[in-house]
Amino acid sequence: HLGLQVDYASELNPNQLLAATTTEGKVLVIAGAGSGKTKTLTYRTSYLIENGVVPKEILLLTFTRKAANEIKSRAKALLASRTADNSYINGKALNDITSGTFHSFCNMLLRQYSGLLGINPRFTILDTGDSEDAIDLINKEKKYPTKITNQAFPRKKTLQNIFSTSRNRRIHIRELIENSYPDIAVHIPIIEQLAVDFHEYKRANHLYDFDDIISQVVRHLKHNDTFRQLLQKQYRYIMVDEYQDTNIPQKELIDLICAPASVSLMVVGDDNQSIYAFRGANYENILLFGESYPEAKLIKLEQNYRSTPAVLDYINALSAQITLGYQKQLYSGLSIAGIKPVFRRLSDETKEARYIADKIIELKPDYDYQDFAVLCRTSFQSNYVQLEFMERNIPFIVVGGIRFIERRHIKDILAFVKILYNPNDTIAWHRILTLFKGVGAVTATRLTQAINADSNVNNNVNNNVNNNLNNNVNSNVNNNTFEPLLLPSFAKKSPQLKSLHTTLTKASQAESVEIVIERILEFYIPLLKTIEENWRERSEDFRVLKNLATEYDSLDKFLENLALDPPNDSVATAGEREKGEDSNDKVTISTIHSAKGLEWPVVFVNSLVDGMTPHHRSLSDFEELEEERKLFYVACSRAKSRLFLTAPEYFSSYSGYFDKPSRFIAELSADKLTVETSKKSINESEDPIWW
Ligand code: ATP
Ligand code: MG
Is residue 611 within 6 Å of ligand 1 at its C-beta? no
Query: Cα(310) to centroid of ligand 1, in Å?
Result: 17
Closest among 63, 126, 112, 79 to 275, alpha carbons compared: 63
pLDDT tens digits along 151-174: 899 999 999 999 999 999 999 999
Residue nearest ligand 1's atom 8 by CA: 34
**Could you tell me the distance, in angstroms and rounded to a whole number, from the CA of residue 40 to the centre of ligand 1?**
8
| Residue, of 691 and 654, whose pLDDT is higher | 654
Ligand 1 atom with least separation from CA of 42: 11
The stretch 559-573 carries a mean pLDDT of 71
What count of other Cβ atoms lies within 10 Å of the Cβ of residue 626?
21
476: pLDDT strictly greater than 70: no
Residue 475 in contact with residue 554, Cβ under 8 Å? yes
Residue 198 pLDDT greater than 50, yes or no: yes
Q: Which residue type is seen at 333?
A: G
Query: 439 pLDDT exceeds 60?
Result: yes
Model confidence at 134: pLDDT above 60: yes
Q: How much is the pLDDT for 76?
A: 85
Known binding positions for ATP = 31-38
- Binding site membership of 37 for ligand 1 (Cβ less than 6 Å): yes
Residue 21 to residue 51: CA distance in whole angstroms: 10
13 lines ligand 1 (CB under 6 A): yes
Ligand 1 mutation pick, 12, 18, 30, 35, max ligand atoms within 8 A of CB:
35
**pLDDT for the residue numbered 481:** 45
- Please tell me the predicted confidence (pLDDT) of residue 487: 58
Q: Is ligand 1 within 6 A of the CB of residue 111?
A: no
Q: Judge whether residue 474 has pLDDT over 90.
A: no
Q: How many angstroms does the Cα of residue 318 sit away from the middle of ligand 1? A: 19
Angle 541-547-549 (CA atoms, 0-180°, nearest 5)? 105
Which stretches of 475-599 are DSSP H helices? 489-492, 495-508, 513-531, 535-549, 555-564, 574-578
- DSSP character string of 168-224: HHT--HHHHHHHH-GGGGGGHHHHHHHHHHHHHHHHHTTEEEHHHHHHHHHHHHHH-
pLDDT value, residue 479: 43
Asked whether residue 619 carries a pLDDT value surpassing 90, the answer given is no
Provide the pLDDT confidence category of residue 5 given band limits of 50, 70 and 90. very low
pLDDT (0 to 100) of residue 538? 79
Ligand 1 centre and the CA of 598: distance in Å? 10
Residue among 16, 21, 35, 39 to mutate when testing ligand 1 (max atoms within 8 A of CB): 39
Please tell me the distance between residue 37's alpha carbon and the centre of ligand 1 in angstroms. 6
The mean pLDDT value of the chain amounts to 85
Residue 14 has pLDDT above 60, yes or no: yes
* Beta carbon of 269 within 6 Å of any ligand 1 atom: no
Q: In this structure, which residue's CA is closest to atom 20 in ligand 1?
A: 39
Q: Is the dihedral of CA 667, 671, 674, 680 positive or negative?
A: positive
CA 35 to ligand 2 centroid distance, Å: 8
| Tally of CB atoms within 10 A around 564 | 21
What pLDDT is stored for residue 655 in this prediction? 64
Q: For residue 36, how far is the Cα from the chain centroid?
A: 22
Provide the residue count of the chain.
Answer: 691
- The pLDDT assigned to 686 comes to 47
609: which DSSP letter?
B
pLDDT at residue number 533: 78
Cα(565)–Cα(588) distance, rounded to whole angstroms? 19
Q: Is the per-residue pLDDT at 569 higher than 50?
A: yes
Q: Measuring CA to CA, how many Å separate 333 from each of 14, 36, 317?
A: 13, 11, 17
- 274 — alpha (psi -120 to 50), left (phi > 0) or beta? beta
Regarding the beta carbon of 132 and ligand 1, being less than 6 Å apart is answered no
Task: State the amino acid at position 452 in one-letter form.
Answer: N
User: Is residue 690's pLDDT more than 60?
Assistant: no
Q: Where are the beta strands (DSSP E) in 289-362?
A: 297-301, 303-304, 331-332, 342-348
Kindly identify the ligand whose nearest atom is closest to the C-alpha of 39: 1
Q: Which residues of 632-667 are buried (b: 16+ CB within 10 A; e: fewer)?
A: bbbbbbbbbbbbbbbbbbbbeeeeeebeebbbbbee
Give the C-alpha separation, 187 to 13, whole Å.
57
Query: What is the pLDDT, as a whole number, of residue 471?
Result: 32
CA 626, 628, 634, 639: dihedral to nearest 10 degrees?
-120
pLDDT at 580 over 80: no
Using alpha carbons only, how large is the chain's radius of gyration in Å? 27
pLDDT at 531 over 90: no
Predicted confidence band of residue 211 (pLDDT cuts 50, 70, 90): very high
Q: Which is more confidently placed, 457 or 448?
A: 448
The pLDDT, as a whole number, for residue 598 is 95
Q: How far is the CA of 4 from the centre of ligand 1 (A)?
A: 22
Q: From its phi and psi, is residue 265 left (phi > 0), alpha (psi between -120 and 50) or beta?
A: beta
Mean pLDDT of 50-65: 92
Q: Which residue owns the Cα nearest ligand 1 atom 11?
A: 36
Query: Is the minimum distance from the CB of 36 to ligand 1 under 6 angstroms?
Result: yes
Q: Which atom of ligand 1 is nearest to the CA of 32?
A: 2
Ligand 1 atom nearest to CA at 39: 11
Average pLDDT on 458-480 reads 37
Residue 614, sorted as left (phi over 0), alpha (psi -120 to 50) or beta, turns out to be beta
**Tens-place pLDDT, residues 257-275:** 999 999 999 999 998 888 8
Residue 640: which of 399, 339, 268 has the closest Cα? 339
The pLDDT value given to residue 89: 52
Strand duo 639-651 + 342-348: pairing: parallel
What is residue 483's predicted lDDT score, i.e. its pLDDT?
A: 53
Distance 172 CA to ligand 1 centre (A): 40
Query: ipTM of this predicted complex?
Result: 0.99
597 in ligand 1 pocket by Cβ < 6 Å?
A: yes
Atom of ligand 1 nearest to the CA of 305: 16
The residue whose C-alpha atom lies closest to atom 18 belonging to ligand 1 is: 306
- What residues pair up with 298 in beta bridges, in sequence order? 28
Q: What is the pLDDT of residue 574?
A: 43
User: Is the pLDDT higher at 433 or at 283?
Assistant: 433
Does position 389 have pLDDT exceeding 90, yes or no?
yes
The predicted pLDDT at position 473 comes to: 33
**Predicted TM-score of the model (pTM):** 0.88
Query: Angle at Cα 203 formed by Cα 199 and Cα 208, nearest 5°?
Result: 80
Q: Of all residues in the chain, what percent carry a pLDDT higher than 90?
A: 55
Ligand 1 centroid vs 292 CA: distance in angstroms? 28
Instruction: State the distance from the centre of ligand 2 to the C-alpha of 197, rounded, in angstroms.
Output: 40
Q: Quickly state the pLDDT bin for 579 (edges 50, 70, 90).
A: low
Q: How far is CA 295 from CA 180, 285, 339, in A?
A: 38, 16, 43
Q: Is the CB of 592 under 6 A from ligand 1?
A: no
pLDDT of the residue at 391? 93
Percent of the chain with pLDDT over 70: 86
Minimum-distance ligand 1 atom for the alpha carbon of 40: 11
- Reported as a pLDDT band with limits 50, 70 and 90, residue 228 is very high
User: Cβ-count burial of 365 within 10 angstroms (0-12 exposed, 13-18 middle, 19+ buried)?
Assistant: exposed
Residue whose CA is at the smallest distance from ligand 1 atom 24 = 36
Binding residues: 31-38
pLDDT digit string, tens, across residues 85-101: 555 554 457 889 999 99
Query: pLDDT of 99-121, one tens digit each?
Result: 999 999 999 999 999 999 999 99
Residue 434 pLDDT grade (very low, low, confident, very high; cuts 50, 70, 90): confident
Give the nearest ligand 1 atom to 41 CA.
11
Q: Which residue has the higher pLDDT, 6 or 432?
A: 432
Neighbours of 414 (CB within 10 A): 22
Number of the ligand 1 atom closest to the C-alpha atom of 634: 3
